[in-house]
Amino acid sequence: MSIQWFPGHMTKARRQIQEKLKLIDVAIELLDARLPMSSRNPMINDILLNKPRLIVMNKSDLADPDMNARWLKSFRGEGHAAIAVDASTGSNVSQIPAEARKLLQEKIQRQIAKGMKPRPVRALIVGIPNVGKSTLINKLAGRTVAATGDRPGVTKGQQWIRVGTEMELLDTPGILWPKFEDQEVGYRLAATGAIREEILNVEDIAFYALKYLSSHYWERLAERYGLEQRPADTDNPDEILSIMEDIGRKRGCLMGGGRIDLEKASGVILRELRAGKMGRITLEEPYSFMVE
Ligand code: G4P
């Protein structure tokens, strides 16, 4: 999937989402639990304005469980409703309608007090490409939903999907763009497969991932590839390069003359990281991150 980061595309995407916002009560902001900061759109607050929002950290099955808990705490500490799910198996997905409804509790209570019967909460899923929007829509719908196509400024033709008795979901998600200005964000998105590798150099992405894994998940890395020498300084590029070479050697990524094929080794590392072969890994911590 191509990433659209040109200003024109952003304006269009924003307009499309804002058209849909008129129809809904709650926005479900879908993030990748492995990189909750980088997988979120930097202008999300401007885009959603005051629409009640539920943050859903998807792919939590691939992310570090301790970090999932820390991120949830951090989002909640900033006043956001947040849950972690795994849309592919459906774990925790059934909590979404109730969580969305909670955000509208006061309004619903007022309606009940006036003798009105509250209608189901109307929701829209928004998120960057590859975060699992379609998978989640299908899981909530309990079937495969064919996208109706999305034209700028046109909200006709969209369908509501009934999710139990409590929620109705728009069948097409709002597609946001990730922020690319920060190179580290690009590397993290590429390391998890959220953006195509061709945009960045595959060896640079693997190098970035190895550096992070060496400092945060050394035991897992060492176990996976039988590494013995823990780097004394993970900021030293030579040490990271030598880990990459070691992995390449062990996996038979060799070129003529016994030289290591670093591109091939990088491919192995990234494939295995994305497939969860090194266990559940989160690539960013919630330390100084503010939702605003
Ligand atoms: P999008 O609409 O936001 O672009 O994302 P989409 O649902 O297409 O999901 C992107 C990829 O992420 C898919 O894998 C999907 O199976 C996977 N995925 C979605 N949610 C989860 C989750 O909670 N956990 C895990 N582990 N994976 C998830 P794919 O390789 O592109 O396709 P496929 O292998 O499913 O065919």
pLDDT for 234 = 96
Supply the residue whose CA is at minimum distance from atom 4 of ligand 1. 130
Q: Ligand 1 pocket, 25 CB below 6 A?
A: no
Q: Ligand 1 pocket, 61 CB below 6 A?
A: yes
Q: Ligand 1 pocket, 78 CB below 6 A?
A: no
Counting atoms of ligand 1 from 1, which one is nearest the CA of 276? 26
Counting atoms of ligand 1 from 1, which one is nearest the CA of 91? 23
Q: Ligand 1 pocket, 33 CB below 6 A?
A: no
pLDDT under 50: residue ranges of the chain: 1-4, 150-154, 290-292
Q: 130 C-alpha to center of ligand 1: Å?
A: 6
Supply the residue whose CA is at minimum distance from atom 18 of ligand 1. 132
Sort strands 160-163 and 167-170 into parallel, antiparallel or unpaired: antiparallel
pLDDT for 291 = 46
Q: What are phi and psi of 91, to 5 degrees?
A: -60, 125
pLDDT for 10 = 79
pLDDT tens for residues 36-50? 999 999 889 999 988
Torsion sign (Cα): 196, 53, 23, 59: positive
Q: 100 C-alpha to center of ligand 1: Å?
A: 22
